[in-house]
Structure 1
Amino acid sequence: MTCAATHSLKYFYTALPQSTGLPEFSAVAYLDEQPIYFYDSSTKQVVARQEWVKGAVDADFWRRNKQLLMDTEKVFKTNMDTARKRFNQTSALALQKMCSCEWNEETGATDGHELYGYGGEDFLSFDLKHERWIAPVLQGLYTKMKWDADVPKLKAKTHYLTHTCIEWLKKYVSNQSMLDRKVPPQVSLLQKEPSDRVTCHATGFYPDATMIFWRRDGVEIHDDVEHEETLPNGDGTYQKRTHLTVSPEDLQKHDYTCTVQHISGDVVLSANRDSIRSNSRHTQRQDISIIAVFLASVTLVIFVVVISVMIQKFSNGKEQTSEKEK
């Protein structure tokens, strides 16, 4: 059983005979059993299966992997024909390969595997601990001996499973965790003057997908509602505003609510006198005046204290001088 702290990166490669009518070669990459990108011989393209993957790799990643998988496709077709001859068959069967690595986020333990199957049965498997191939069937013995004799390739295989694959696994996990995070919005209602429109302002949320709408007495309204585009904040989160044009009398007469729908949960605010914050210039000037008075008061207190200390020191100095003169 795999615990939550254990992550896996798996690659599945499949070569099929032409008679199936399906793509003759395909490859799928999985992170924690979820497909992250895909390639097949029909499209000749590497396609992301998860949106966050696009931000986890560099721009040249797709071109490099496309070329790599096109080369792998040729190798698999040759190996499939070789396996057909080893089993003395007139037509080839499906050839598959699974390459994977695992990483326990809590303990740091890692592991790696590589398996080949032909016709739905195990054909070869790599023993990472002893750096050798294992052939469960007689037809795989020749390939096992040939691959075991190539020491540089054995070392490269070990390095890939214990280092390269693990590095990519950690990279994907890190990016998925960051991009899959859910930060709820902070919602406030703003109005400059009682006669002005009411603004429902949501900020600090992630991801950027969100909807803001107004209701009057529980019924969603669209007239007199203006939506602004979602804008990025400087910290990686987003903000969005929606404005409602409504008279002060109508605002008091009916129950107006703003609803912000986000993947992290919905936020509903009722538009009443207690919940609407004023952002008028008059209020801002009042706030500035209050702050100015406060700062002036603090400055005066500090000035009085400093003067008092100086007077005390001056008085003490005069007393000491008088005593010396005596």
Structure 2
Amino acid sequence: MRTLLLLLLFCHVSSPVLHSMKHFITASTGIPNSQELVATLEVDELLMGLCDSNKGLDVKDVAKSFFTKYPERLEWYKQGCLNVLPIFKPRINRLMRLYNQSEGVHVLQEVNGCEWDDETEEVKGFVQFGYDGKDFLELDLKTFTWMALRPEAVIAKPIWDASKVGVGVVDYYKTAFTLIYPELLKKYVEYGRSFLLRTELPSVSLLQKTPSSPVSCLATGFYPHRASLVWRKDGEELHEEVDHGEILPNHDGTFQMSVDLNLSSVTPEDWTRYDCVFQLYGVNEDIITKLEKDRIRTNEVKSSNMTVLVTAAVVVLALILIGAAGFIVYKKKKAISPPSYYLDEQPLDFLWREPGRC
């Protein structure tokens, strides 16, 4: 049963047939010297294009060949880039009036898109809005009505359900999810297989800040983002004493992730029973990294050869200074002692003779 649950979990996270297209839109007001709008297009978590209110549409290299083949889609995005700001600004103003906000910085965000299973042909759309950094409203695609995602949004829900703004958004997405988005995503996947369906294996490292810190297994440089990273003991995946990090993007379009293992209750003799396992969609072989002391990179400061040389130099210098100080003291004592010729010519008993006697 446990094995079946793990397989289901991994399939959910890293389904080999699930593709996605996402639009992220952020509009703001009250921020001096900044873009009032920034929007991005991502396909399978890969950035394809960026639009801002100052520079217009910037198509990334991975998507240029696609838009060369489908120029009508490029024009569609250009028009969308021009039209989004005039739509979002009134929305922000209406929300400010609704919440009695006359000034200040306010941000309205939207994420929309769809996921497509290329085996079952099932398409699932999604639309969600956020306001001032918090979830706000989400479109229920069964009833095509708005759902409040926090208490403050309850008063906005009936307004969006009845207003031209809310109704207009619903009408647009009814068409988008049935025609525009599925067709566009399928074309991206078909034309962009060389970069969307590629696989890149990561480098895996074991990191530890101090001897008492958890050991972190870091995998970086992998693609696609559908991957799994776990700690095992005797071949069994661990669920306790581990802390899973999120999958994060790298600047080159690849991804990284990490998982920490708490070794506070593990004896050094048992370390060899642990290993870190990385699994990537589309690759049959796993990357297994054994928990061994010499594999761990740490921030702990260790004495180097240079440190030893510096320490030796300091000791030698200290000895020289001590010797010099002793020589100076010796010279001073010698300067106030009786001359040697006096000691040679006078009997030594002068040292205890009474004053005035010869």
TM-score (norm 2): 0.46
TM-score (norm 1): 0.50
